[in-house]
Structure 1
Amino acid sequence: MSDNSLPDEIISEILSPALKVSDEVFSDTSDVSPFAKYAESTSAYLLVCKSWLRVATPLLYHVVILRSKAQAKALGRVLSTNSELGMFIKKLRVEGGYGTPMATIMKLSPNISDLFLSFEIWGTDNTDGLCKGLFLINPTRVILRDVLSNRRKVRVNKMVSNLEDALVKALAKWDRLSTFDLPYTGQEGSIRVTKIVQALEKSQSLNTVVIPSGGLQWIYPLLKDCPLQAICLKESLSPSHLAYYVGSNTALKALVKCKELLPVTEDPKQDSGKIGVPQFPDITPSLNPNFFPMKETSDEVKDVVWGRVFYFAMFVPELAQNPEAEDIPPRLPILLVSKMFHRLALPSFYAHTVVKKLTATSGFLAVLRNNPFLGAQVHSIRGSAGSQVYSDWDDSDDASILSLLSQMTGLVRLCGWSSTAKHFDIRCNYLSREKTIPWEAFEAVATSSGATLREFSKHIATQRDASPAVFDTLTQLRSLAWKCDSIFKCKPEDAAYAGLSNLEELQIWSSDPSFFTALSMMKLESLRRVVFSNKSDNAETFLETHGNKLTEIRIPYYTAEVLKVNIFQVCSSLTSISLVSCDKPPESFNFPHTSTSLVTIYIELQGWLRKKDQLINWERFFAAFEPKCYPSLHEIQISSCEWPTNEREIGKSLWVRWAENLLKHNIYLADRSGKKWRARLKV
């Protein structure tokens, strides 16, 4: 791209959203810094081309965040080389002491208007440069962050005390100071709080104070002689709570400004079943009272048009995505409008059905008897149909299930509890929460819907003499979650079975060893992903036959350790492996073998690494780990990995040390959420 292809103004508009730091984030005083993200530095935008460098430099330096001594030293060196860059700095956030370079930075940044200071400083840090720098600037807003213990006591050491004294003296000099953000409620009872507030009392420019709501009645009497125009509360308060803090003081009430009350939101963890149903605008009815839609149109065309309308009115696309979505409006009233509505909307109503109780099964079966055409219109059935433990189940119920599934000729998905392997926890006994279907019902599904079924995940009753030929008709099945202990009769002289030719993902919740033998007699040409459970006896036969096709495996630690074959040798195309339920480092990865295709390793630990012996074991694991055996490896993700959030913790963290050793081989270490450690600037 030519440097002159776009005007600087347009480039600035393009880059501003990426380089801008919102004031809300800049002034965040929460315990964990919002900048502890370890993401790619925004300075990378400056390296795209010369025009981006020219335009983005002022944007980058507008807000400066310092989180380490190395960053402060580097910035001080840059400003000393090019003092013009300091003119761009308007906001400066300093999350520590960071030594003598701070004096250089603040000396060469005369336009600082917003200053963020933190008292979370340890005795090993150095605040001398920061203390000197406070007298070299004249900000309009100061934001303080302090760390309070459980007893509401502030941290005290020599470096913090020096910064505290320097701030108090600087407050007397800052004649442009208009806004001060305090973290205190007045209950801390420390000398620091008293000294800072006493210094603020003398300010003739202070007009806005930001404090927690608990400090409202404490701060106002002390600062009432200042030309205050507003006391802003950090929290959102209801009118009743605000009245409690303000009392009958009308002067105080006029000054208090509170964030608008946020709308009540549900727990984000409970939103997983919601799909965001679109809100449609109200449609103005026709002014013609005799209006009749498609009055002159043939009945066939009307049925097609109305059928399409009901397809969306019944939220068929949304339910196809998630049949148990919680924010779907009631759909039954549409069926009750008229006979025509009932006839045309019924297929869409039952297209994706959830069966949670035994009574729902019999009710659904009654609907099918009255409307046989629905058998081809039902595309998914989901639900446990009751509990294996607490519900009564007899032969008539088995007969109902068999009759129901026999009439399904267009099923695409038949699932019980969630079959998504990403959320599949092999330690939980999900099968006890799901009713079994008789083996005959599984055979019926394979016969009636074998040409359409793409996903199957139901708990099947045990069959003593099962034939692998039952899988031959499941020609379109892509995902199979096997939950059955049936014993398959497989004879060596039998020809290979042709079943499951399109199967891509296999999850094994519960199985008999003969199931692996049956799978070994199939081609399974499309199989790529397998999830094993704790009980995977005879898995070696399966892996020796199909391992070379697999690209992803999820397996419990114990199962992997007792396998009689080496996973990496039999699975030569493996790109991802997940070890779950690990209580110690996996020894499998320290065997003398090579995997040229492996890209990611995920290790799920039981609990967190806290004990000394656990850390020693993992230290040995990383010391013995040979990256050269995995030339394509890009990432190791460990569920118990915790990234530190400040410079002191980073210096002590074993996770950081292990991550930086891996980075020497271009391998990233990631935490549970997938956040990767990135090398930081060093002194």
Structure 2
Amino acid sequence: MLPDEIISEVLSPALKVSDELFCDTSPVSPFSSYSQSTSIYLLVCKDWLRVATPLLYHVVVLRSKSQANALQTAMKSNPDLGRFVKKLRLEGGYGAAMHTILKSAPNITDLFLTLSIWTPDSTIGLCKGLPLIDPHRVILVDGSFTPPKNNKRRRCERLCWHASVLGRICGYSAIHMGPQMREGMLLSSYFYNIPSFISKLCTTPSLKVLQFQNSFNVERVINEDSKLQKLARYSWSETKDSPVELDISPPLNPRFVPMEFASKETRHVVWMRVLFFAMYVEELRSPSFPCRPTSAHPSRLPILSVSKYFNRIGLPYLWESVHLTYSSASGMRARLEQRPDLASFILRVYYDIEYVASQAEFDSDSSNYYYYQQVKRHSASVGMQFAWKCRTAGHSLRELSISLRCSSFSIDLLEPFTALRFLDLAISCLATRMNLWRMPCRRSNVLEQVHTLRTSGPQLLEFFANINFGSLHTVELPTYLKDSTALLTELITKHGAKLRHLALHTTLWKPNRLDLSSCPISSN
């Protein structure tokens, strides 16, 4: 028979939950996908049951109320199980069962709490049980992108208040905490303003670091609070990944030159393809890809320093997709003024107008917009300051995807887009009246495809129903449009004969009221 220590080493890889997964604060939980229960290892024999039970309960992840109730029942029948729990991840409130669980697990060192708790989920048991434990690390996560309503705000403050009086909060934070930061708390939050419970957390005597996964856009408020300013840290700016040392064997032939006898054209094609993947060009074409270097996708600049040849063929990849931020816009503009030739490499620009420097800095002369002259696709969420962009990049733009949040909008802003073939237009917070009718008639045959119309009102339907599209073949209305049946019918009557594809939101599909007789299409 094997000793317990050997059995434990054998079973640990199968039963262990990594700290990276336990601390994951991404919107989609890493535990949401189906996986076979590891408890089957406990059924092999009594020896495995004895050794594996502490390993199984070392990290507990609760994702449903039924799981919490089952754990409560198990702890009531066998109180010793609670002593094995060291890490507890809660992705909900789970009612009164949490009081029993926390009461039975006094040895918890790591606690993961989510503030995205929805009705009818209750936090009564959780709030009663929090003062009963003394964790070393607390992770608070709010995965909601919308400001919390009153009931949610009260629940957040209640949870965080109980967390702040837990006693000794020490250890290290969840995301690449340096050795100098021995004590800390991680909050992954999308609050628009600093919640009031943050001030309560700052009064915790043992709290040394209050680390946020995302930076607030209210740093001025943070700087005004001396306690918060002293504690606040941001994962994206303050932390650094530990360098990874690779064990690379020395080359058998130190003078070996890759593709030494291949033709110049072959070498160029191969190295271009290698750099395409090494500089993750395809990934950066998505606006959701992180624009800052990460551990998985480190900086691409060292690649350009390998040789003059790598610098020459890598520059187009480096500048192909530009992600403008508040901190990078000014530096990028200065760089392009020094090297106007770099503008020819830019094919995509992604930015939010709120993070770009002031309009006056850019809106001086079209000759200054080097980096917009060759734009082929632009995706942004902007307000009325969108006008300055139209004048500089419109002539070469072929795909336009914009989300406008404004009180008024003039369609003649689209006039410069003479090469436009794809239009994705979303407008929210519209005024009662909009200046939609100043579009010259010569623009009417330029838009080949009105792909998506997302709007909170029928004004855009009315406009597009009265414009003479020469090549329109696809219309998609994926959102609810209030009182739009008549205008939708007018739009279909005008353009139905040309359409090859029509996609409607389910609320717009009214067979008895919507006439599709003019459409030689299959609607969705």
Greater Rg, structure 1 or structure 2? 1
TM-score by length of 1: 0.34
